[in-house]
Structures are given as structure tokens and as C-alpha cells.
């Protein structure tokens, strides 16, 4: 399983590194979206630093959707699906590999966006550093969930538009927990309960992925 | 089991897609180590048949046993691992080079990495090993597909119009490959519009009409 | 004449910038309110002017000339590209000098102010332009697409300018030349600032020329490798 | 030109009607995104009805990105581009047709989302009705700009991720103007200057599209 | 102009893609009303040549004149309007039915709508007119491509491996179509690995190697 996971993760990251889409397209998009969200809310709300964590997660969510879609689209080029299916890769490994690659990509984006929200939304730097571990875990959970949902949507009609519908409700609790724990890190407050939610989500999605990804791939 | 020799056995196999019967009751038996050619008019169901055999589509009704796997409730992944598939489309990660694609396959199958180089050489792609797959020409993509199969070495080869877009040298190579493969004991099912050119082996012919075998 | 002015461009740029810094740092007096901070006046506005108007203007005009069939040439495409690239640098400098100025005067590095926001958005436009160029390999396609994009950007400059006016702006208004036409800045300060404008504008064109030549050289390198590639390709399968 | 425009718009709308992607995927996404944005900002900001217009436009923007991408992806299926190119359609007509179809789709989505923000974000109903004309014009401008930017990104690397990077800065002023005029309709205030911006943008983008779409299609 | 007869005239045509010369200096002259067959090994540049002639790719250096349009700076849209193109891939709106696709083409070209029905009948797709294109089989998609060309009636036909995935009846029909088309004065350039089957017309042969014509 781990062998396949490394293999798949390596392949995904290599394709990503080659196309530079993350660097040139996804990251700028995130930064602009952050700026725009600030704008859309107007100075009163955006200047208000309590909006920082919420906006950060909102933008991360949209970025994650783009990246999940890309990650699954790789497997869905005409013909690719059939050929790869006949390799008979262990689905648990494929799931782990794709989730891993997505995690790495989301971490990179997340760090840049955190930097952006410190600069642009006046979120406190120290608070943000404190929130870092919880952000990383939340992003990993997003990646695991996203890989699962991504596999659900592919192959049907208009996967790029189906994905958001399916994932948003699932991401909502993650979003809230992430935002709460980030806010708690900023303003002080009970952290651990949000941690529990996020960690449980990560473990649950990973477990479900390992167990059920095979069912999704069979079709 | 009586059909120890049969790698493929379909009884009244029906495959529906959105209510349309791609296959409308196919009976088919293919022996181990044989070469079969499926012919038929456009839209007769050749591609659908091969997809069913590869475990890529599922059986709606009827019975099927392919490479020891029952199509009703058997482990389709096991089946897929035993077949090699060459479809109409180039079948790789378009952003990886020819070599990287094959290396991925070799690693996935735990084959030694040096097979990749020799497979690429055999199909005549040595001067394009580092070109990304999406930049290859149609025929080169076909050849890469053959190289992928060389690395795969499956027991059941399912080839959908393998001659299309191969040049003369490619076809000669392919015919020779077929002979080798069959001699080594693998089973081959191909769909074709062109007559087979290889002299060495005598294929079994199947003709499809309207989603099933023509009763001769 | 053109040759001579080209030859003089570098030295004149250097001299005027050196003079600006000398005057700005040592000759002009500190401000009553701002103290030594006022010396940013000789750097920040000229840089901002180049970033917004000179470089974007150059890129837009060059793009229009490229898209107009009669004046279409690779020269225009290269000029547009190089100008946009330099504009990224100048916008970054505007943001940096502005932030440095903003920290002591407004108490924050960044604020949701009309001027600041529109500057940031323009910077993003320039980056997006570069991203678009990267995403296309065929030179003709790339040139056409980035040309259209530059023009679309130009449409946005006035729209951005007006649409952000509703914010009660923190940023300095027209403080040098007030609306009734009277001059607000005196003597040596005015001259230093003027010199700064000239110096940085010249710097832009000097950089543009440099960058352009680099681009031509790069194209030349590409061209020689193309010859090799052609020779290789012709030997294929023979 | 108009003949081609009708033809192209009809084709796009027919494909859309057949695949039902708008109805089943884009609209639900918009509604969920509206809910989530409310959540992400927490009760203090979202309950506050001043955030309504901003959130409405933010969500509409993301929905518009999905739809622009889909609209262009239709033309980019392997081989389609080449065949259609040999029809030699008048590019100005193609631009108008695609923009028209997109406008219709955005209007439908916009109406639903307006309803959503009245229900979910407690935006005033009467104010929203007053804002309707300006919203429709803004959406039409988005469609015109989006068609242009969509054509810019297709065929290159990673069009789905490149699109947001190119469009967001351009949509920012539209967003602001739309949001301001919506707010003005809600709370009273000068409307006409925002109208000017939006109408100018619509006219400018349409003019540029008619003139330059051919240049983009040449490739 | 001396070559009034020449529909295609290329002099040392070079096409680069990402620095790689797809065409490395092609000289070609094709007369009006002729049938030309371009052969060559996989990757020799046949598809690239046809794309250049269709105005789908642009010339990097050299000179070219196709259907009265100069490839350097001429109106490529005008050129595209004069050619008919049949590529490796099915070339339609995948979500529209066979009939809707053709109707779109007919309207775009201001052709009478009843041509659509007869074109579909000629290529033998009457039983699939309302099937969406993405559900058609490979050969049916090819046939739809031919129907599209029948509606188009271009003056220069550029067909990339037209035989691939057509069945026997399809090939016979295609050969007959070729004869008709050439007799009606159109010019046809096709790329092929299979020998031409039509007896009626004697095609001109061109052989490509390494991105250019083999000097014979
Ligand atoms: C990140 C922060 C800042 C940015 C992005 C910024 C941007 C700009 C831009 C784009 C211009 C050119 C405007 C035009 O020519 O139309 C400009 C001019 C100017 N800026 Fe800033 N600025 C920033 C901070 C500041 C600060 C803190 C001050 C002083 C307190 C300042 C003082 C000025 C002055 C005096 C001008 C010349 C205005 C005129 O005469 O029209 N800026 N700035
Ligand atoms: N939803 C549908 N409605 C009507 N017909 C359908 C539908 N889906 C598939 N078909 C038909 O099913 C058949 C599938 O055939 P398949 O692709 O297996 O043919 P094939 O023998 O491989 O043909 P070819 O030689 O052209 O490759 C085609 O005739 C196609 O038109
Ligand atoms: N970036 C690149 N680097 C290296 N080679 C490239 C690149 N892009 C394209 N090629 C090569 O250019 C050639 C394109 O050939 P083309 O598709 O015209 O061939 P063809 O004659 O149609 O072949 P086929 O018979 O296989 O269809 C191929 O050999 C391909 O490998
Ligand atoms: Mg088939
Ligand atoms: Mg080819």
C-alpha cells in the first residue's frame, strides 16, 4: 500500500511540478481572491481582524476545489482511466498517494495564503503561527476528503461543476472547526475541541478512503 | 470446471448503457493461447465487447467468466490486472514523457526498470523517450501503447483496432509481436477492419452484428 | 540623432538619479510635520508614476500596435512583454516605499484604501499577464493573446480608478499641484521631485532597452538551436 | 453577425439545457456557497445585512467562473476546435452568441442567488427588487468580459486554473460597482455613478469583444 | 501568377512547436482537381502538414499559398472557410446529436436544412440521428465527419487517415465519394498508411521523412 502511495504521489507531484500550474495560476488566484474578499466586504469588515480566519478558509476552500479537480482530471484523460485500471493498483495506495500529493499542494498554498492574510487582513502574526498546526491538519483533512469526493464526481457529466456541490456540505464542518481554532489561536480561547473535530475528520476520511476507494474505482 | 481451456466464456451477455444495449446477448468462447479476431460493421459492438472482457464495463445480464474471474460478482480488479488493453485513444498521462509513463507502469507492476528501455527500443521510440505523450503523433502513441503492453506482459491481450494509425514497419512489428505472444501462451483478442497480415498463425474469426455474434 | 540619444540614455539616467538622491538626502530641508520622512517624496511618487502610467502605457500602446495588422511585428510584442515585466518591479517598489511611508504616518503597513488597492490590483494584472504568457508556447498565439489581455487591462485602469473613489481615502491626494493650480511645494523640494520624475522615467526606458536586447539575444539563441533542431529532424528516418 | 450570434447562443443554450448542469450543479453550488460564506464570517458579520450585497457578488463571481470555463470548454473538446474553425464563423457573432448564452445563464443563477440572499442573509426584499436592474446589467458585463477572458485561456496549459487569475482583477471593479449600487439600493444613496461604471464596462467589453475576438480565434 | 493551377504551393515550409520542427522545410505543389496521398512513417509529419494546409497551425518560416490565401499574413479565416478537415478525433459538439451537429454546420454555412438528412443517409447513420455524438462508436464518428464534409462541400479536402476505423462498407463509400468529389473539381489531400483502394482515379504520391518530402 505505501509503495503504491509513494508511486502515485510522486507521479502527481511530478506532473504538477512540470506544469507549474500551482505556482503560476493557483497561488496568484488565492492571493487575488484574498484581496477581493477584503474588497467585497468593504473596509469596515475587512479591516476588522476577526474576519481574517474566515476569509482565509473561504479562499482556501475555493483554491482546494480547483486543485481537487485538477488532481482527478489527471486520471480522466480519454483512455488513461482504462489503461491505468488494467495496472490493478491497490486502491488504498492510490487514495493515499493522491491525498498525499494534494496535501503537499494545499500546504504550500495554505502557507502563502496565511502570509497574505497577515499582510493584507492584519491578522496577528503570532496568533497565526500558533494556529499553524491546526491549519495544517485541517488542510490534510480537506485533501483526504477532497480526494474521495473527487473520485465520486469524475466520469459523470460536468465533473468540474459537480464537485463543488458535493464537497461544500462536507467541507462546512471542517471549515467551521478550522476557523474556530484559528480564531481561538488569535484571541485565546479553548482550542482543543476544534482540534478534536479536525483530527477526527482527518482520521475518518483517511480510513473511509482506504476502505472504500476501491469501490469508487471499480466503476 | 469443464472449460479449463477457455479463457473467455460469455453466455448471452448483455451490456446496457443508458438503456441502450451495447451488447445484446453475446455467446463467446475463446481458448487459452489462441488468437481471435472480432470483425463487424461500425457500431456492431466490438469495442463494447472488448471493454466488457477487460472488466471496464459491467455485465447487465447473462453470464461471463474471463481469465478465471466471474463477471457477475467476481473481483474485477483481479481481472483487470490480468488483461492488457489498447484502446482507440492514447492511454497515458499526457504530461509525462514516454519513458516516465512506462516507468510508472513498471514500478506499479514491480517489474525491473530496465525493461522500459528495451520496450521503447522494440517499438522504435528511442528518439522520443523524453517527449511528453501529448506531443507524440497518433502512431507513436499507438506504439507507446504497445510498449506499455510489453512491460505489462498480460495473459489476455485485448486490442481495439491495433492497426489503425500504425505505419508499415509498425504493422510488421506488431504481427511479429502477436506471433511471439501467442507462442508464449498468452491469449489475444483483437478487433479489426483490416484483414490480419501475419502468416504464421491462423486466427479464429468472430463476426458481430447488432451487438452479438452472427450465428454462422 | 537616435543613436546619440540611445548612447546618452544610460549616463543621463545615472546623473539625474544621482542628483535626485543627493538633493533629496542632503540639500533639501526636513519637513515641519514629517521630518526626514518627507524625503520619500522624491522617490515614491516618481516610482508610482512610472509603475502605473509609463510602463502600463508603453505596454498598452505596444500591444495595440502589435494587434493592428499594419504595424504588427515581433518588436512590439517584445516591447509590451518587457514593459510589463519592468512594471512588476516598479509596482513592487511602489508598494514597498508606500508601506515604509505608511507605517509611521498611518500606523499600518497596509490599509483598504482606494489608491493602495488599485495599485495592488494593477500589480496582479501584470502578474496575470506574465502567467498568460507562460501558459502559451506558440509565439504567434502568445503574442496575440497577451496583446488582447493588455488592452483589456487598459480598459480596467480607468474603471479601477473611478470605482474605488467611494472610500474616504487615506492616501495623499493631489498634493503637489492643487486643484486651483497653485503650487504647494516650494523651491528646492519641487525641483528635486521634478528631477526624480525625470530620472525614474529615464530609468524605465533604460531598463526597457536593456531588457529588450536581452530578449533579442534570447530569441537569437533560440534561432540557432532551431537550426540544430532542423538538422536533427531532417536526419530522422533517413 | 446577429445571425451567427443567434446560432451560437442557441447551440450553447441547447447543450446547457440538455446537460442540466446549471440546474443540478451550478445553482446548488451557489446556494451552498452563500450559506457557507455566511457561516465562515460568523454570525456577527453575516447577520449584519450590510454584508449581503458583497457576499452575493462574491458567490456570483465564483459561479460565473465555473460557467465561463464550461462555456469555453465546449469549444475545446479534442477535434471540435479544428472542425468548427473550418466553418469560418464570423468571430464577432461567435463572441456575441457566447456572451448572450452566458448572460442568460448568469441571469438565472443571479435571480436564484438574490432570492437566496434575501432568505439567508436577511437582505431587504424591496431593496433587492430596486437593485435588480443594476444586478442584471452587471451580470451582462461579467458575461461579456468572461467570454473574452475565457477565450484567452483556452488551449493553453491548465485553462481552468488560469481563468481565475486573469479574470479576478478585471472583475474586481465590476464587483465593487455592483456591490455599491446594490448597497445604495438597499440603504439609499447615490446610484447613478455606479450605473455609469457598469454600463461603461458592458459597452467597452462588448466593443472589444466584437473587434478582437477574431484575433483570439485565429490561434 | 504562373501557378494558376496550383491550389497548394509550399516553399521550404517550416512549422515549429515548442522549438521542435514539426515540418522541416516542405516543398509541395498540388494541382487543382487532383487527388494526392501523403505517406510516411509514424511521426514523419503528415498530420502537421495537413494542419498547416488547413490554416490550423501557422507557418514559422518559408512560403505558402493555399487556396489563394498567403500563409504569411493572409486571412487564415478565409482559408479555413475553404477547406474541409477530417482529423484523428471525432470533431463535433459531443453533447449534441448527430443531426443537431450537422444542422449547426448547415446553418452556419447558410445551406438548406434538407441537405442534412440526405448527408446522414449517405453515410449510413439514419438509425443514429438522435444519438449524442459522444455515444457513437469510433467508426460512426468518422462517418459523421464525412457527413459534415458533405454538407460543407469545401474546395480543398484535407483528410487525415480517413480509412482508420471505417468498416468495409464505409471504405467503399468513401472511395466512391472521393471519385465524385474529384470529378466535381475539388482538390483532395489525404494522409494514409493503407494503400488507396479506389480504381477510378490515379493519385499523386508524396512521401514524407523527417518533417519534409523525400527527395526522389
Ligand atoms: C502601500 C502604500 C502606498 C501605495 C501602494 C501608494 C501608491 C501610490 C501611487 C500609485 C501613486 C501615484 C498616483 C498618481 O500619480 O496618480 C502615489 C503617489 C503619491 N503617494 Fe503613495 N502610496 C502608498 C503610500 C503612501 C504614503 C504612506 C504616503 C505619504 C504619507 C504617500 C504619498 C504619496 C504622494 C505625496 C504621492 C504624489 C501624489 C500626487 O502628487 O498626486 N503614499 N502613491
Ligand atoms: N445511448 C445510446 N443510444 C443509441 N445508441 C447508442 C447509445 N450508446 C451507444 N450506442 C450505440 O452502441 C454502439 C456501440 O458500438 P461499439 O462502440 O461497441 O462499436 P464498434 O463495433 O466498436 O464500432 P467501430 O467499428 O465503429 O469502432 C454504437 O452503434 C452506438 O451508436
Ligand atoms: N516538443 C516536441 N519534442 C519532440 N518531438 C516533438 C515535439 N512535438 C512534436 N514532436 C514530434 O513531431 C512529430 C509530429 O508528427 P505528426 O503528428 O505530424 O506525424 P504523422 O506523420 O501524422 O504521424 P502518424 O502517422 O503517427 O499520425 C512527431 O514525431 C512527434 O514526436
Ligand atoms: Mg470500436
Ligand atoms: Mg498523424
* Ranges of each domain in chain E: 6-215
Q: How confident is the model at residue C109 (pLDDT cuts 50, 70, 90)?
A: confident
- The CB-based long-range contact list for C171-179 (8 Å cut-off, 24+ gap) reads C171/C113, C171/C114, C171/C115, C171/C116, C176/C45
pLDDT at C166 over 70: no
Sequence-distant (6+) residues with CB within 8 A of E100 are D14, E93
State if residue E165 touches ligand 2 by the CB under 6 angstroms criterion. yes
Nearest CA in chain C to A49: C111
Q: What is the pLDDT of residue B1?
A: 41
Model confidence pLDDT, tens digit, residues E125-162: 999 899 998 889 989 999 999 999 998 889 999 999 88
For C67, the closest of D180, D204, D212 (CB atoms) is D212
What's residue C155's pLDDT?
81
C-beta B211 within 6 A of ligand 2: no
- Please state the rounded mean pLDDT for residues D26-38: 79
DSSP one-letter string for C160-192: HHHHTTTS---S--S-SB-TTS-B-S-HHHHHH
Whether D91 has its CB under 8 Å from any CB of chain E: the answer is yes
Vertex A161: Cα angle to A160 and A165 (nearest 5): 120
Q: Render pLDDT for C65-103 as a digit per residue (tens, 0 to 9).
A: 999 888 888 899 999 999 999 999 999 999 999 888 888
Angle between helices D125-153 and C114-135 (to 10 degrees): 30
SS3 A79: coil
The one-character DSSP state at E213 is E
Average pLDDT over all residues of chain B: 88
**Nearest chain A residue to B100, by CA:** A11
H or E, element range at A35: helix A27-47
pLDDT given for residue B2 in this prediction:
43
* Residue among A210, A4, A211, A175 nearest A97 (CA): A4
CA-CA distance, D181 to D191, in Å (whole number)?
Answer: 6
Pick the more confident residue, C238 or D122: D122
Q: Which strand (E) or helix (H) includes residue B26?
A: strand B20-31
Q: How confident is the model at residue C1 (pLDDT cuts 50, 70, 90)?
A: low
ipTM value, please give it: 0.86
Query: What does the block give as the cell for D53?
Result: 450585497
First to last CA, chain C: 54
Q: Does any CB of chain C come closer than 8 Å to the CB of residue E16?
A: yes
Q: Which of A9, A82, A84 to mutate to test the interface with B (most CBs of B within 10 A)?
A: A82
**Average pLDDT across chain D, whole number:** 83
% pLDDT > 70, chain C: 84
Average of per-residue pLDDT across B96-111: 90
Pairing of strands E20-31, E6-17: antiparallel
Average pLDDT, chain C: 81
pTM score: 0.88
- Whether D97 shows a pLDDT value over 90: the answer reads yes
Alpha carbon distance B159, D91 (integer Å): 42
Residue A120: domain span: 2-218
- Average pLDDT for E78-82: 89
Helix A192-217 and helix A159-187, axial crossing angle in degrees, nearest 10: 160
Per-residue pLDDT band at B100 (split at 50, 70, 90): very high
**D79 in contact with E, Cβ within 8 Å:** yes
Could you report how far apart the first and last alpha carbons of chain D are, in Å?
A: 20
Q: Which of E20, E21, E51 to mutate to test the pocket of ligand 3 (most atoms within 8 A of CB)?
A: E20
Residue B140's pLDDT is: 93
Residue C6, pLDDT > 80, answer: no
Protein residue closest via CA to atom 31 of ligand 3: B136
Cell numbers representing residue E18 in the block: 515548442
Between CA A5 and CA C226 the distance in angstroms is 41
Residues with CB under 5 A from ligand 5 (ion): B 137-138; E 47
For chain B, percent of residues with pLDDT exceeding 90: 44
Q: What single-letter DSSP state applies at residue E58?
A: -
C163's grid cell: 470605482
* Alpha-carbon span D40 to A175, nearest angstrom: 7
What nine digits make up the cell of A104?
503537499
Say yes or no: domain C15-210 is CATH 1.20.120: yes
Q: Is the CB of B98 under 6 A from ligand 2?
A: no
Per-residue pLDDT, A193: 78
Using a 6 Å CB cutoff, which residues line ligand 1? C 41, 44-45, 48-49, 52, 94-95, 98-99, 101-102, 105, 115-116, 119, 171-172, 174-176
From the list A183, A191, A216, A152, the residue with the least C-alpha distance to A56 is A183
| Residue E88 dihedral angles phi and psi, to the nearest 5° | -60, -40
Q: How many structural domains are present in chain D?
A: 1
Please give the Cα distance from A188 to A182 (Å, whole number): 10
Strand pairing class (B6-17; B61-66): antiparallel
Residue nearest to atom 17 of ligand 2 (CA): E137
Q: Tell me if A32 and C167 make a contact (CB, 8 A cut-off).
A: no
Residue ranges for chain A with pLDDT beneath 50: 46
E→B contacts (Cβ < 8 Å), by residue, are: 17-18, 20, 40-43, 47, 88, 128, 135-140, 142-143, 161, 164-171, 193-194
Tens-place pLDDT, residues B104-132: 989 888 888 888 999 999 998 998 999 99
**What is the structure's pLDDT at C153?**
87
The confidence score (pLDDT) of residue C176 equals 53
50-69 of C, contacting D, C-beta below 8 A: 67
Interchain pair D197, C124: CB under 8 A: no
How far apart are the CA of E164 and the centre of ligand 2, in A? 16
Q: DSSP per residue over E156-197, as a string?
A: EEEEESTTTT--HHHHHHHHHHHHHHHHTT-EEEEE-SSPP-
Rg of chain B, C-alpha, whole Å? 17
Specify the pLDDT at position D214: 86
Q: Name the residue with the closest Cα to ligand 2, atom 13.
A: B43
- Paired with E84 in beta bridges are E157
Residue D131 has pLDDT above 80, yes or no: yes
pLDDT at E1: 41
Contact assessment for residue E108 and residue D6, using Cβ atoms and an 8 Å cutoff: no
Residues above pLDDT 70, as percent of chain B:
94
Q: CB distance E167–B194 less than 8 Å?
A: no
* Homologous superfamily, domain E6-215: P-loop containing nucleotide triphosphate hydrolases (3.40.50.300)
Closest alpha carbon to C121 in C156, C165, C168: C156
Amino acid at each position: 500500500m505505501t509503495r503504491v502511495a509513494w508511486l502515485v504521489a510522486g507521479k502527481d507531484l511530478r506532473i504538477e511540478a512540470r506544469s507549474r500550474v500551482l505556482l503560476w495560476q493557483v497561488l496568484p488566484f488565492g492571493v487575488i481572491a484574498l484581496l477581493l474578499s477584503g474588497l467585497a466586504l468593504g473596509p469596515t469588515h475587512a479591516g476588522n481582524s476577526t474576519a481574517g480566519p474566515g476569509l482565509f478558509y473561504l479562499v482556501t476552500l475555493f483554491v482546494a476545489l480547483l486543485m481537487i479537480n485538477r488532481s482527478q482530471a489527471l486520471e480522466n484523460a480519454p483512455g488513461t482511466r482504462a489503461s491505468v485500471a488494467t495496472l490493478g493498483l491497490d486502491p488504498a495506495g492510490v487514495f493515499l498517494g493522491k491525498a498525499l500529493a494534494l496535501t503537499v499542494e494545499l500546504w504550500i498554498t495554505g502557507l502563502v495564503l496565511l502570509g497574505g492574510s497577515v499582510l493584507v487582513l492584519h491578522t496577528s502574526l503570532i496568533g497565526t503561527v500558533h494556529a499553524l498546526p491546526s491549519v495544517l491538519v485541517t488542510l490534510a483533512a480537506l485533501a483526504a476528503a477532497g480526494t474521495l469526493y473527487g473520485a465520486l464526481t469524475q466520469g459523470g457529466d460536468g465533473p468540474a461543476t459537480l464537485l463543488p456541490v458535493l464537497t461544500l456540505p462536507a467541507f462546512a464542518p471542517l471549515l467551521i472547526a478550522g476557523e474556530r481554532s484559528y480564531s481561538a489561536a488569535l484571541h485565546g480561547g479553548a482550542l482543543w475541541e476544534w482540534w478534536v473535530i479536525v483530527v477526527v475528520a482527518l482520521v475518518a476520511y483517511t480510513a473511509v478512503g482506504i476502505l472504500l476507494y476501491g469501490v469508487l474505482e471499480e466503476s | 470446471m469443464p472449460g479449463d481451456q477457455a479463457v473467455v466464456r460469455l453466455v448471452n451477455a448483455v451490456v446496457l448503457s443508458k438503456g441502450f444495449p451495447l451488447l445484446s446477448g453475446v455467446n463467446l468462447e475463446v481458448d487459452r493461447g489462441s488468437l481471435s479476431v472480432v470483425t463487424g460493421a461500425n457500431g456492431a459492438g466490438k469495442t463494447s465487447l472488448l471493454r466488457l472482457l477487460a472488466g471496464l464495463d459491467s455485465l447487465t445480464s447473462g453470464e461471463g467468466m474471463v481469465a478465471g474471474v466471474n463477471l457477475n460478482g467476481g473481483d474485477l480488479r483481479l481481472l483487470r490486472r490480468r488483461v492488457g488493453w489498447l484502446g482507440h485513444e492514447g492511454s497515458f498521462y499526457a504530461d509525462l514523457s514516454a519513458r516516465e509513463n512506462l516507468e510508472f507502469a513498471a514500478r506499479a507492476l514491480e517489474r525491473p526498470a530496465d525493461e522500459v528501455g528495451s520496450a521503447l527500443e522494440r517499438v522504435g521510440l528511442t528518439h522520443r523517450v523524453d517527449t511528453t505523450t501529448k506531443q507524440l503523433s497518433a502512431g507513436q502513441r499507438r506504439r507507446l501503447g504497445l510498449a506499455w503492453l510489453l512491460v505489462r506482459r498480460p495473459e489476455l491481450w485485448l486490442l481495439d483496432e491495433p492497426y489503425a494509425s500504425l505505419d508499415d514497419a509498425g504493422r510488421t512489428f506488431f504481427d511479429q509481436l502477436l506471433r511471439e505472444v501467442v507462442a508464449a501462451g498468452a491469449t489475444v483478442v483483437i478487433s479489426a477492419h483490416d484483414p490480419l497480415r501475419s502468416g504464421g498463425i491462423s486466427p479464429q474469426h468472430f463476426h458481430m452484428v447488432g451487438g452479438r455474434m452472427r450465428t454462422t | 540623432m537616435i543613436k546619440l540619444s540611445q548612447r546618452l540614455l544610460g549616463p543621463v539616467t545615472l546623473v539625474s538619479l544621482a542628483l535626485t538622491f543627493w538633493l533629496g538626502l542632503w540639500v533639501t530641508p526636513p519637513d515641519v510635520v514629517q521630518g526626514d520622512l518627507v524625503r520619500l517624496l522624491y522617490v515614491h511618487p516618481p516610482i508610482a508614476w512610472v509603475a502605473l502610467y509609463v510602463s502600463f502605457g508603453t505596454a498598452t500602446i505596444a500591444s495595440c500596435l502589435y494587434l493592428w495588422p499594419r504595424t504588427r511585428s515581433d518588436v512590439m510584442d517584445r516591447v509590451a512583454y518587457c514593459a510589463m515585466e519592468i512594471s512588476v518591479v516598479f509596482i513592487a517598489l511602489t508598494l514597498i516605499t508606500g508601506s515604509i511611508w505608511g507605517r509611521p504616518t498611518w500606523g499600518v503597513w497596509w490599509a483598504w484604501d482606494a489608491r493602495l488597492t488599485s495599485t495592488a490590483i494593477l500589480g496582479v494584472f501584470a502578474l496575470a499577464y506574465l502567467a498568460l504568457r507562460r501558459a502559451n508556447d506558440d509565439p504567434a498565439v502568445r503574442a496575440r493573446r497577451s496583446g488582447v489581455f493588455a488592452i483589456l487591462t487598459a480598459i480596467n485602469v480607468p474603471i479601477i480608478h473611478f470605482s474605488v473613489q467611494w472610500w474616504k481615502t487615506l492616501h495623499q491626494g493631489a498634493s503637489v499641484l492643487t486643484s486651483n493650480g497653485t503650487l504647494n511645494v516650494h523651491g528646492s523640494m519641487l525641483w528635486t521631485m521634478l528631477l526624480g520624475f525625470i530620472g525614474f522615467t529615464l530609468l524605465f526606458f533604460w531598463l526597457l532597452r536593456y531588457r529588450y536586447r536581452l530578449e533579442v539575444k534570447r530569441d537569437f539563441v533560440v534561432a540557432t538551436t532551431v537550426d540544430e533542431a532542423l538538422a536533427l529532424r531532417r536526419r530522422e528516418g533517413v
